[in-house]
Amino acid sequence: MAKYKFEYIWLDGYKPEPNLRSKTKVINLDSYDGAVDVLPDWSFDGSSTQQAEGHSSDCLLRPTTVYLDPARKNAYLVMCEVLNPDGTPHPTNYRATIDDDPEFWFGFEQEYTIVHNGRPLGFPSDGYPAPQGMYYCSVGFGNVAGRDIVEEHFDICLEAGLEITGINAEVMLGQWEYQVLGKGGKKSGDDLWMTRYLLFRVAEKHGVHIEFAPKPVKGDWNGSGCHANFSNKAMREVGGKKMFIDICDAFGKYHAEHIAEYGSDNDQRLTGLHETQSIEKFSYGVSDRGASIRIPVPTAQTWIGYLEDRRPASNCDPYRVAARIIKTVKGAMVPA
């Protein structure tokens, strides 16, 4: 019999975006192979996370996905859903709203800014660095800042079993991006939240703050997004120009509904500048990074593949993004 550490992780009830919370449970087991169904539900004080009143404060945690915890011995990271005491989904549980399909894939491009002493890492204490131009995918002192933090996060995510597919320095100094692939709307959301959790934990060690605000520095600086690349089995295997155009048209029809689910303060980022379309408009186009929906060149060549929704903000809840995208795509593919 061995003692295993399980870090139960969940989203709180703060608005407009939730925060990650976690606590550790020790379970005695003969062995453990990563199965989620052997882990028990747990509870927490919802009155401390804006999810319950003090006179009836218990909320339940139900494990959904398990990852290896490379930073601890005999340890695992457990993403959880929040439930009411009767076992029904809590109102803050957007994961439960996803009409899931394991053949629906999401590739999230998570942008973020590393902040130290209230300023992006690499910015001088007063004023600004040189204008944008030399920072994107760059190398060298003065061109990038925080690579040691980024690389540590990259390695620990891969060790945990997450499908991180790449990293790069972004357009603003101190701004970075990683890409993570998930299969199924719920699992994709679990994976992105777990990468964020690990990023916060690495940042603790280095004494820096991770900023997910969609416009971390006002002025002529790129904002931060969380572009959602998506496809289902029909898009990847059947395709056809009509299918893709119908999907894009459906996204235009429900533009306001999508924006409502894509993160707060997104109007500060979606201005029509800095590789964005205005939040007031909807557009799509082949290889167009100034459009709401970008049709990648390989997709347009064969009309088989995926689409990129460039509207989600860096602070978005991926469960809400996945739920809305799946709903719109499924609606667009219903026979007339």
What is the domain-level CATH number for residue 306? 3.30.590.10
Contact predicate 333/247, CB 8 Å: yes
In a domain, 248, yes or no: yes
Q: Indicate whether 255 and 310 sit together in one domain.
A: yes
In a domain, 99, yes or no: no
Q: Indicate whether 205 and 133 sit together in one domain.
A: yes
Does pLDDT of 260 surpass 90? yes
pLDDT tens, residue by residue, 210-250 = 999 999 999 999 999 999 999 999 999 999 999 999 999 99
In a domain, 47, yes or no: yes
Report the percent of the chain where pLDDT is more than 70: 99
Q: Indicate whether 250 and 224 sit together in one domain.
A: yes
Alpha carbon of residue 197 to chain centroid: 11
Q: Which residues pair with 226 in a beta bridge?
A: 110
Q: Which residues pair with 81 in a beta bridge?
A: 62
User: Distance between CA atoms of 189 and 185, rounded to whole angstroms?
Assistant: 6
Q: Indicate whether 153 and 111 sit together in one domain.
A: yes
Last residue of a domain, one of 44, 67, 92: 92
Name the residue range of residue 115's domain.
Answer: 105-332
Q: Indicate whether 154 and 262 sit together in one domain.
A: yes
Q: Indicate whether 237 and 326 sit together in one domain.
A: yes
User: Distance between CA atoms of 254 and 235, rounded to whole angstroms?
Assistant: 20
Q: Indicate whether 82 and 193 sit together in one domain.
A: no
In a domain, 41, yes or no: yes
In a domain, 100, yes or no: no
Nearest Cα residue to 4 out of 79, 68, 63, 75: 75
Q: Indicate whether 151 and 285 sit together in one domain.
A: yes
Q: Indicate whether 175 and 309 sit together in one domain.
A: yes
Is the backbone of residue 303 left (phi > 0), alpha (psi -120 to 50) or beta?
left
In a domain, 215, yes or no: yes
CATH number at residue 29: 3.10.20.70
Q: Indicate whether 45 and 167 sit together in one domain.
A: no
In a domain, 98, yes or no: no
Residue type, 108: F
Beta-sheet pairing, 119-120 with 164-169: unpaired
Per-residue 3-state assignment (H helix, E strand, C coil) for the chain: CEEEEEEEEEECCCCCCCCEEEEEEEEEECCCCCCCCCCCCEEEEHHHCCCCECCECEEEEEEEEEEECCCCCCEEEEEEEEECCCCCECCCCHHHHCCCCCCCEEEEEEEEEEEECCEECCCCCCCCCCCCCCCCCCCCECCECCHHHHHHHHHHHHHHCCCEEEEEECCCCCEEEEEEEEECHHHHHHHHHHHHHHHHHHHHHHCCEEECCCCCCCCCCCCCEEEEEEECHHHHHCCCHHHHHHHHHHHHHCHHHHHHHCCCCHHHCCECCCCCCECCCCCEEECCCCCCEEECHHHHHHCCCCEEECCCECCCCHHHHHHHHHHHHHHHCCCC
Residue 54, pLDDT score: 77
Count, residues in the chain: 336
- When computed from its CA atoms, the radius of gyration of the chain, rounded to whole angstroms, is 20
User: Distance between CA atoms of 316 and 225, rounded to whole angstroms?
Assistant: 9
Last residue of a domain, one of 62, 92, 122: 92
In a domain, 301, yes or no: yes
Distance (Å) of CA 287 to CA 141, 157, 275, 295: 32, 30, 12, 6
Last residue of a domain, one of 46, 63, 92: 92
Alpha carbon of residue 304 to chain centroid: 25
Q: Indicate whether 168 and 313 sit together in one domain.
A: yes
pLDDT tens, residue by residue, 283-332 = 999 999 999 999 999 999 999 999 999 999 999 999 999 999 999 999 99
Q: How confident is the model at residue 335 (pLDDT cuts 50, 70, 90)?
A: low
User: Distance between CA atoms of 86 and 153, rounded to whole angstroms?
Assistant: 37
Q: Indicate whether 115 and 27 sit together in one domain.
A: no
User: Distance between CA atoms of 120 and 243, rounded to whole angstroms?
Assistant: 42
User: Distance between CA atoms of 33 and 42, rounded to whole angstroms?
Assistant: 20
pLDDT tens, residue by residue, 50-85 = 999 978 899 999 999 999 999 999 999 999 999 999
Give me the number of domains the chain comprises: 2
pLDDT tens, residue by residue, 119-159 = 999 999 999 999 999 999 999 999 999 999 999 999 999 99
